[in-house]
């Protein structure tokens, strides 16, 4: 079945979406609300009543059902805050990437203008015709089968080998090139550090990579890590140089060849090594 699935959204854009959603809801309820200037600590939205005689701050937290804490990334400092006029708003986006088939979309399209209705339905019908003539399917069921087998085996393997990893939940649909398993967490890793498995990289390399990603890092720590990486690992910049990733190459997993528990096991062992290295690396 061909369908429409939104492209993955990074955490910064998702956070902005949550802030605008909360601000919209406050305005709808008759309050005066505006986004706080960038850099204001502990506040995303400033709220007042219509007269401006009462002010409050709102910090917005968004989640996507990832990580060992289910996506609510809170720190110890939040528990110690005692501010009567600081409020938290939690926005749950765990189904933001839900799948809608093109067949369903065609049935949902409506417009009082017959010409506009015909134009919109024509777009969907052309996409369905292309799918029927080429055999191309987006999302790719084979990719979902691969991810389903991967996540099922990951749960069984980690329980058997006593490795405390938390993997992302299975989505309803995946694209053909959706080759990352991202947001893998271990309780020994801080929030800004995570694991990722790239099931394959390029046709030239013909390998996958297991990454330990440090999203932000100082220049001194970057230099120290570069000379302290574990044997057989690679190091590369992350997020245009804001962070760093340390990676072990593993055999690739592709949907056309199917799931391989031996390769997956190698990847999970690489995750164990990366966690152990991070915990024991010099500060």
**In terms of domains, do 164 and 216 share one?**
yes
pLDDT in tens, 72-90: 566 666 667 777 888 888 8
Residue 264: which residues within 8 A CB-CB, separation 6 or more?
A: 150, 153, 154, 157, 253
SS3 152: helix
Residue 260: which residues within 8 A CB-CB, separation 6 or more?
A: 251, 253
Distance CA 262, CA 147 (A): 15
Arithmetic mean of pLDDT, 164-175: 89
**In terms of domains, do 146 and 274 share one?**
yes
**In terms of domains, do 54 and 184 share one?**
no
Report DSSP state, residue 160.
Answer: H
**In terms of domains, do 245 and 193 share one?**
yes
pLDDT in tens, 21-67: 999 999 988 899 999 988 788 899 999 988 888 889 998 988 766 55
pTM (whole model) above 0.85: no
**In terms of domains, do 176 and 212 share one?**
yes
Number of domains in the chain: 3
Distance CA 257, CA 233 (A): 26
The CATH number of residue 179's host domain is 3.30.1460
Ranking 12-16, 34-38, 246-250 by mean pLDDT, the lowest is 12-16
**In terms of domains, do 87 and 186 share one?**
no
**In terms of domains, do 108 and 41 share one?**
no
The DSSP bridge partners found for residue 79 are: none
**In terms of domains, do 33 and 125 share one?**
no
Report pLDDT for 273. 96
Report pLDDT for 1. 41
**In terms of domains, do 45 and 23 share one?**
yes
**In terms of domains, do 165 and 113 share one?**
no
Distance CA 86, CA 228 (A): 43
**In terms of domains, do 72 and 149 share one?**
no
**In terms of domains, do 128 and 146 share one?**
no
Cis amide linkage into residue 121, ω under 30° from 0: no
Range of the domain at 107: 100-134
């Amino acid at each position: 079945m061909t369908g429409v699935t939104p492209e993955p959204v990074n955490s910064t854009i998702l956070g902005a979406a949550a802030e605008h959603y909360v601000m919209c809801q406050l305005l709808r309820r008759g309050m005066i609300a505006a986004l706080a200037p960038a850099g204001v600590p502990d506040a995303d939205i400033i709220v007042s009543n219509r007269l401006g005689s009462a002010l409050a701050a709102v910090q917005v937290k968004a989640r996507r059902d990832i990580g060992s804490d289910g996506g609510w990334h809170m720190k110890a400092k939040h528990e110690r805050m005692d501010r009567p006029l600081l409020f938290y708003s939690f926005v749950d986006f765990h189904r933001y990437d839900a799948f809608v088939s093109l067949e369903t979309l065609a049935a949902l399209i409506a417009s009082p203008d017959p010409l506009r209705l015909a134009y919109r339905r024509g777009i969907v019908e052309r996409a369905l015709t292309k799918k029927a003539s080429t055999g191309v399917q987006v999302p790719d069921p084979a990719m979902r089968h691969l991810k389903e087998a991967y996540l099922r085996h990951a749960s069984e393997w980690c329980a058997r080998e006593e490795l405390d990893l938390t993997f992302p939940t299975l989505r309803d649909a995946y694209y053909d090139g959706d080759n990352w398993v991202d947001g893998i967490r271990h309780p020994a890793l801080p929030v800004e550090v995570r694991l990722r498995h790239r099931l394959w990289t390029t046709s030239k390399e013909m390998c996958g990579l297991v990454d330990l990603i440090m999203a932000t890092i100082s220049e001194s720590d970057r230099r120290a890590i570069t000379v302290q990486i574990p044997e057989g690992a690679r190091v590369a910049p992350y997020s245009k140089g804001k962070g760093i990733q340390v990676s072990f190459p593993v055999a690739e997993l592709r949907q056309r060849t199917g799931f391989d528990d031996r390769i997956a096991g190698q990847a999970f062992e690489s995750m164990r090594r990366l966690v152990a290295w991070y915990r024991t690396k010099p500060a």
